[in-house]
Structure 1
Amino acid sequence: MPNNNDVISPEILVIIITATVIGTIARIISIKLDYRQYPNYPNGYLIHIVTGALAAGIGAFIIPALMEKEFTAVTFLALAIQHFREVRKIERESLMDLEGEEFTKRGNAYIDGISKIFEARNYIVFLVSFSTALTIQLIQHFLEVDFWIQVASGSIVGFIIYYLLKRFTSRQKVRDIATVTEGKMEIKGSDLYVNGNFVSHLMGREEAKDWFLNDGIAAVIKPNEEHYLIPLLNGGQRQAIIFEVTRRLGQKKLYSVQDPGKGTIVIAVVPIIKNFDLLKETILLTPILETVKKNPELLNTTLGANK
């Protein structure tokens, strides 16, 4: 007969199972398969769900381990942090390996931001699971309530923590600091202009002129406030915008120029899919990179209005 001391009590099982499930659900919710197609279905989903479940499991076991005075189990925290860092490293290496396979490169800044996000999401799952487990333990200790009330209370607290952490870690997008309008292309001699902005002098051949005038589209990005031009002119940020544009619309030919004097950025492209609304949406949904946000004042939406 097994020793009763070796059997996990129902109370602890409630904590472990509920916290692990809620943490895993939080990771599933945070996975978004949008037009950027990353992570890709189904292998990307599987990898991130499994790693998220592991993070949730680690968070769920912390409270029961402390209850049993197994203080050495806290070393799992060190293993968890190492595991999360490995996820970030693997994501970074995977995206770097794909750099030569796209129409244009993501750029190091964009890749660094993506890998940090996947690491951070595992921390979110860990904290959600830990908070769920802690809530259930406190209810079991101080209140005599039904099993389902324990589960419901822990789940509610877990999802509240998830919501708060997602709000805290959410990234601004280009639409938060700039507007995008359609540019008018014209060719003067062998020069390409968009809304009067010089773009390229490589329009000498008649085929190239017809190509841009008939199949090309252009977008003019203008910041809402003057200081927003600083992040938009960042090399990594511009590369991220160009990558998303070519990834979604395809690319036959592309030019991107900046005019700090007029406070605009021009993107002229001959895409595979000619659709300005799609081009505009893609630019506006491009996230603002972490490297741009080193100075919070650059993205303070009230800074320009208060001057």
Structure 2
Amino acid sequence: MPDNNDVLSPEHLVIIITATLIGTLVRIISIKLDYRQYPNYPNGYLIHVVTGGLAAAIGAFIIPTLMEKEFTAVTFLALAIQHFREVRKIERESLLDLEGDEYTKRGDAYIDGISKIFEARNYITLLVSFTTSLTIMLLQTLTDSTIWVEVAAGSAAGILLFYVLKYFTKRQKLRDIATVTQGKIEIRGSDLFVDGMFVSHLLGREEAKGWYLEDGLAAIIHPNKEHFLIPLLNGGQRQAILFEVTRRLGQKKLYSVQDPANGKIVIALVPIIKNFDLLKETILLTPLLETVKKNPELLNLTGGNHHHGK
């Protein structure tokens, strides 16, 4: 083991470098560029990779500093956590500033969920790096293994933890609680109907009638179980759906109504890209928000209505 001096020992360098690299790697893996286009390439990528690298470095340094009896590392860790919370705050403010530039607003609930996710990913990165560091240190202390065995074992432990945490923090999507069917658009006088359900007054504008009859699309969201209608009718959840739909297909005109009596939600719009399959896929891939999951029963995918009688 290392001597007490001001120079890091080779053993500690192995711990720090390996843990930092693995932590940064899993942060890069967790960044996905999908149709939501967030974070934006390349500046958004750079910001999140850098903050992830810092989180990984913090996790990597915890074990070596404690071994050197530098207990100020605990204070440094507390400051890092405070920094991650600031990142979340900045992320939230940035998205709020962009609300007026979108076809439809994300809504406060969706923005809060996005900012929490980016904060949580920094914690995951830190934990992965710390686990990698701890594994290597234990092998160095308790066994006579070679450096490559230590690096391989530490990396495997860190990556395994990443996938465990990824599964644990995985968000459900609308496809887990609902199905989507195509609705038939009708114009009766100046009113817009979808599958016989009233949606909106078109104020008699012939232009609007033509838009919907020629280029309109309508989707009907059906909850798989009666109690799944509760999260679907949540204002923040409906706003998130509308945002994803208009962000992916564009929007010339949009209406959304709910029909609790029939257990349905109707979305009727005139998109820039007329493609119902794309519309359906977008709705089903919309994440379920944290704010609609306060009661676990609401999203119990295997449970039925067995609690309703209580």
TM-score range, shorter chain: over 0.9
In structure 2, how many angstroms separate the alpha carbons of the residues matched to 1:98 and 1:28?
25
Residue type of the partner of 1:167?
Y
Q: CA deviation at 1:275?
A: 0.5
In structure 2, how many angstroms separate the alpha carbons of the residues matched to 1:273 and 1:146?
58
Residues 119-268 of structure 1 correspond to what in structure 2 (within 5 A)?
Answer: 119-268=119-268
In structure 1, how many angstroms separate the alpha carbons of the residues matched to 2:306 and 2:35?
36
Q: CA deviation at 1:146?
A: 0.9
In structure 2, how many angstroms separate the alpha carbons of the residues matched to 1:211 and 1:72?
66
Residue type of the partner of 1:153?
A
Q: CA deviation at 1:203?
A: 5.0
Residue 14, structure 1, aligned to residue 14, structure 2: yes
- The answer to whether the 8 Å contact 2:258/2:264 transfers is yes
- The answer to whether the 8 Å contact 2:129/2:158 transfers is yes
* Segments ≥4 residues shifted beyond 2 Å: none
Q: CA deviation at 1:46?
A: 0.2
Residue type of the partner of 1:255?
Y
Describe the superposition over 1:147-198 as per-residue Cα deviations: whole angstroms up to 9, x where unpaired. 1100000000001110111111110000000001111001111111101111
SS, match of residue 6 in structure 1: coil
Residue type of the partner of 2:171?
R
Residue type of the partner of 2:102?
E
Q: CA deviation at 1:207?
A: 2.0
Residue type of the partner of 1:241?
I
Specify every segment of 5 or more residues in structure 2 that has no aligned partner in the other structure, as ranges. Answer: none
Residue 114, structure 1, aligned to residue 114, structure 2: yes
Q: CA RMSD in A?
A: 1.2
Residue type of the partner of 2:244?
E
In structure 2, how many angstroms separate the alpha carbons of the residues matched to 1:205 and 1:106?
29
In structure 2, how many angstroms separate the alpha carbons of the residues matched to 1:235 and 1:4?
60
Specify every segment of 5 or more residues in structure 1 that has no aligned partner in the other structure, as ranges. Answer: none
Partner residue of 1:70? 70
TM-score by length of 1: 0.97
TM-score by length of 2: 0.96
Q: CA deviation at 1:80?
A: 1.2
Residue 41, structure 1, aligned to residue 37, structure 2: no
Q: CA deviation at 1:201?
A: 1.5
- The answer to whether the 8 Å contact 1:187/1:203 transfers is no
Partner residue of 1:83? 83
- The answer to whether the 8 Å contact 1:33/1:39 transfers is yes
- The answer to whether the 8 Å contact 1:183/1:220 transfers is yes
Q: CA deviation at 1:7?
A: 1.8
- The answer to whether the 8 Å contact 2:254/2:269 transfers is yes
In structure 1, how many angstroms separate the alpha carbons of the residues matched to 2:203 and 2:124?
51
Q: CA deviation at 1:205?
A: 2.2
- The answer to whether the 8 Å contact 1:203/1:209 transfers is no
SS, match of residue 294 in structure 1: coil
Residue type of the partner of 1:156?
A
In structure 2, how many angstroms separate the alpha carbons of the residues matched to 1:120 and 1:101?
27
Residues 92-111 of structure 1 correspond to what in structure 2 (within 5 A)?
Answer: 92-111=92-111
Residue 288, structure 1, aligned to residue 288, structure 2: yes
In structure 2, how many angstroms separate the alpha carbons of the residues matched to 1:4 and 1:74?
20
Number of residue pairs aligned between Structure 1 and Structure 2: 305
